[in-house]
Amino acid sequence: MIIRSTGAFKMNNDKEEPIHIFSSWCKQCGICTAICPKKVLEKGPDGYPYAARPDDCILCGMCEAHCPDYAITLKAKREVKEEEEHE
Ligand code: SF4
Ligand code: SF4
């Protein structure tokens, strides 16, 4: 499986990106870019979405929940939850 890196996040800072987009599952429908309330996601020149403004992500989960192909995973959200469970 190909894990698509949202490279803009790493270019802007050293934090680990909160979103993973699995390009092998993505059909480039554009739902995630349209539904994101903070306009974090944009369609790249190759047609696949990427996190253009990752620092604006509020981890609301809208993109993950509405992707019809389960191609988005919010890694940061899962890690925060796991940290809370271990406290
Ligand atoms: S909603 Fe899912 S399938 Fe559609 S463009 Fe976004 S990641 Fe790809
Ligand atoms: S989690 Fe919410 S704010 Fe972050 S990219 Fe997805 S839809 Fe946008």
In a domain, 69, yes or no: yes
As a whole number of angstroms, the distance between CA 66 and CA 82 comes to 23
pLDDT (0 to 100) of residue 17? 75
Range of the domain at 63: 7-85
Quote the pTM value. 0.77
CATH number at residue 44: 3.30.70.20
In a domain, 14, yes or no: yes
Q: Provide the number of structural domains found in the chain.
A: 1
Per-residue pLDDT reduced to its tens digit, 66-79: 999 999 999 865 55
pLDDT (0 to 100) of residue 6? 46
Residue 43 Cα to ligand 2 middle (Å): 14
As a whole number of angstroms, the distance between CA 77 and CA 60 comes to 9
Residue 80 Cα to ligand 1 middle (Å): 24
In a domain, 2, yes or no: no
- Residue 71 sits at φ, ψ, to 5 deg, of -90, -5
Per-residue pLDDT reduced to its tens digit, 28-68: 999 999 999 999 999 999 999 999 999 999 999 999 999 99
In a domain, 79, yes or no: yes
In a domain, 55, yes or no: yes
In a domain, 33, yes or no: yes
As a whole number of angstroms, the distance between CA 44 and CA 37 comes to 18
pLDDT (0 to 100) of residue 3? 46
